[in-house]
Amino acid sequence: MYREQTASWSLSEAIFGKAKDYLQLTKFTLSFLVVFSCVVGYLMVPQVNIGSAKVLLLFIAGICITGAANAFNQLMERDTDALMRRTAGRPLPAGRMQPAEALTVALVLTLAGLILLSVYFNPLAAWVSLISLCLYAFVYTPWKRWNSLAVFVGAFPGALPPLIGWIAGSGTLSAGGWSLFLLQFFWQFPHFWAIAWIAHEDYQRAGFRLLPGTGTRNAYAAMQILSFTILLIMAGFLPYLLHVYGSFALSAGLLTGAYLLYRAWKLVEKCDSASARQLMFAAYIYFIAVQFAMLIDKI
């Protein structure tokens, strides 16, 4: 009986460990935030009912595509991930998963996501999702080893989820969807550059230069972050002018945007990692506040 319990416990541990590895491979927490913006983009389409049963299908499809993109990313960066403290424990560099298994997971998720989008929504949403995956996995990922323009390149697939959601709901590449794309496009710069500032030494060990300019922590990089924060706040007016969202979401964007701008200015003043960390959290606050404010406006 003791042996049976031990075997059962070992099996449970193995299943739990494998599930944890798959969550790490697909970066589930990050994927959840990305897909949430896709669902919000879908719900912002005027003819889509906020209680639509298809929301769950879109969420599953989005998790599949985003998870696949992250799996491809980790597959290609397994050697550099091993050099960084923050990524060395991932399943591929740690040796808990073989590249063939990661590739299989990525391909299966890609196929599942594209089929769901094509069958339950429209082929255009599937095609744009495939373009987003390819840009992230096969353009942005290798570009990180060349120069800091990788952040600009990566901002395109990073901003496509709300547009994909809009396409899923409307079937068109109309102005409303593009306005949500621009909002998320500009948001990524203060968000990701704050992370790159904090993890600068780690990225250097892997040969990545992700901060703007020379790729170092200096006043120029801080000013670039401040500039893109201003562009983000300005971009928040476009969905309002196009009647994608109303005054509540605009107000939420302006209030949290003002706080984000303050944090960006403090980074310019101090040029230290503590200010960058506060900026990173301010960017998360902005993102979450605006997304929920859009839903409240729709209701």
Q: Are residues 26 and 87 in the same domain?
A: yes
Q: How confident is the model at residue 11 (pLDDT cuts 50, 70, 90)?
A: low
Highest mean pLDDT (candidates 47-51, 53-57, 90-94, 282-286)? 282-286
Token digits of residue 179? 């306005």
Residue 129 lies in a domain: yes
Residue 3 lies in a domain: no
Residue 2 lies in a domain: no
Q: Are residues 212 and 87 in the same domain?
A: no
Q: Are residues 91 and 230 in the same domain?
A: no
- pLDDT value, residue 236: 96
Residue 4 lies in a domain: no
Task: Give the least confident one: 80-84, 111-115, 219-223.
Answer: 80-84
The radius of gyration of the chain's CA atoms, rounded to the nearest angstrom, is: 20
Q: Are residues 18 and 147 in the same domain?
A: yes
Residue 251 lies in a domain: yes
What number is the average pLDDT over the span 153-173?
95
Please identify, among 106, 139, 163, the residue that sits at the C-terminal boundary of a domain. 163
Q: Are residues 17 and 143 in the same domain?
A: yes
Residue 61: which CATH number? 1.10.357.140
pLDDT at 92 over 80: yes
Q: Are residues 131 and 182 in the same domain?
A: no
Q: Are residues 247 and 183 in the same domain?
A: yes
- pLDDT value, residue 182: 97
Condensed to tens digits (0 to 9), the pLDDT of residues 175-215 reads 999 999 999 999 999 999 999 999 988 888 888 888 888 77
Q: Are residues 157 and 184 in the same domain?
A: no
Please identify, among 132, 163, 194, the residue that sits at the C-terminal boundary of a domain. 163
Condensed to tens digits (0 to 9), the pLDDT of residues 106-157 reads 999 999 999 999 999 999 999 999 999 999 999 998 888 888 888 999 999 9
Q: Are residues 134 and 229 in the same domain?
A: no
Kindly state the percentage of the chain with pLDDT values over 90. 71
pLDDT at 100 over 80: yes
Q: Are residues 16 and 158 in the same domain?
A: yes
Residue 155 lies in a domain: yes
Q: Are residues 269 and 190 in the same domain?
A: yes
pLDDT at 31 over 90: no
Q: Are residues 206 and 267 in the same domain?
A: yes
Residue 5 lies in a domain: no
Please identify, among 119, 136, 163, the residue that sits at the C-terminal boundary of a domain. 163
- pLDDT value, residue 203: 86
Count structural domains, the chain.
Answer: 2
Average pLDDT of the residues of the chain: 91
Q: Which domain holds residue 94?
A: 11-163
Residue 169 lies in a domain: no
